[in-house]
Amino acid sequence: MNKVVNNADDAVRDISDGAVLMLGGFGLCGIPENCIQALVKKGVKGLTCISNNAGVDDFGIGLMLKSRQVKKMISSYVGENAEFERQLLNGELEVELIPQGTLATRCMAAGYGMPAIFTPAGVGTEVAQGKEIRNFNGKDYLMEYAFDADFAIIKAWKGDTQGNLVFKATARNFNPLMAMAGKITIAEVEELLPAGALDPNEIHTPGIYVHRIFQGSAYEKRIEQLTIRKAHQ
């Protein structure tokens, strides 16, 4: 039951060209930095990436975009990325934009074995095009399908050797949802602990969802929008 692998290279060893990946994080917050670097190093191509955002030019998924590894992005917001824009406008990159709550719930649906969910997000907009609309109690909902991803690659704060995970603050975001949703789930953690070190009441992601885990290193944790107030405000 020991799910520990040596490092990011080992964790992503069998991700091959054309794979569908989920990548946790919101902006640059809570992203699997080590695995992204390992994927860039590995040079795997033609990836479909399901991730709320696409990183920035020189960090996060932006690094994979720069090295032309991404065929398609499925995201809710892809701003802040000039290289992304260039590839998209040149037709080198496909993008599917979906509402953030729909993105989150389609991950959850996969993790919960629910093939589809209903949400009102996007009713009456171009997001609804081609989708089944259904009325419940006088309100229209779109039927949206669970994601089907080969790998979920996520980042947690603490984890144990059995794959149990705990997230910190808003670095939680999509990570526990994607953890549930991947056929193979790879978790990198800031602190890897022996089984039993985490309080079973406080575990966010039970180990059953996690297939590989390792302690990451050299986390940059870049801040995208440093916003501060003056001491005398």
Residues that bind a copy of itself (CB under 8 A): 105, 112-120, 136-137, 139, 141, 145, 166-169, 200-202
Q: Which does 97 bind (CB under 5 to 8 A by kind): another protein, a copy of itself, none?
A: another protein
- Greatest extent of the chain over all pairs of C-alpha atoms, in Å: 54
Q: What, of a copy of itself, another protein, none, does residue 137 touch, CB below 5 to 8 Å by kind?
A: a copy of itself
Chain position carrying tokens 């885990």: 213
Residue 69 or 102: the one with the smaller Cβ distance to a copy of itself is 102
- Burial group, residue 97, by CB count within 10 angstroms (0-12, 13-18, 19+): middle
* Binding partner selected for residue 136 from a copy of itself, another protein, none, CB under the kind-specific 5 to 8 Å limit: a copy of itself
Q: How far is the CB of 69 from another protein (least distance, A)?
A: 21
The C-alpha atoms of residue 216 and residue 206 are separated, in whole angstroms, by 19
Question: C-beta of 222: minimal distance to a copy of itself in Å?
Answer: 22
The residues with which 188 forms a beta bridge, in sequence order, are: 155, 214
Q: Are 16 and 184 in contact (CB under 8 A)?
A: no
Task: Decide whether 130 or 200 has the Cβ nearer to a copy of itself.
Answer: 200
The partner in contact with residue 166, picked from a copy of itself, another protein, none with C-beta cut-offs of 5 to 8 angstroms by kind, is: a copy of itself
Nearer to another protein, 44 or 156 (CB): 156
Residue 13, contacted partner among a copy of itself, another protein, none, CB below 5-8 A by kind = none
Tokens at 16, concatenated: 């091959």
Instruction: Name 136's bridge partners.
Output: 139
Contact 186, 25 (CB under 8 A): no
Q: What is the DSSP letter of 146?
A: P
| In contact, 139 and 115? CB cutoff 8 Å | no
Q: How far is the CB of 169 from another protein (least distance, A)?
A: 4
- Based on CB atoms, which residue is closest to another protein, 65 or 107? 107
* Minimum distance, C-beta of residue 114 to another protein, in the bound complex (Å): 7
Nearer to another protein, 37 or 76 (CB): 76
Cβ proximity to another protein, 44 vs 108, nearer residue: 108
Minimum separation from the CB atom of position 145 to a copy of itself (A) = 8
From the number of C-beta atoms within 10 Å of its C-beta (0-12, 13-18, 19+), residue 34 rates as: buried
Q: Which does 116 bind (CB under 5 to 8 A by kind): a copy of itself, another protein, none?
A: a copy of itself
Q: How far apart are CA 44 and CA 67, in angstroms?
A: 10
| Residue (of 115, 104, 64) closest to 87 by Cα position | 64
How many Å apart are CA 162 and CA 164, to the nearest integer?
A: 6
> Minimum CB separation from another protein for residue 81, in Å?
9
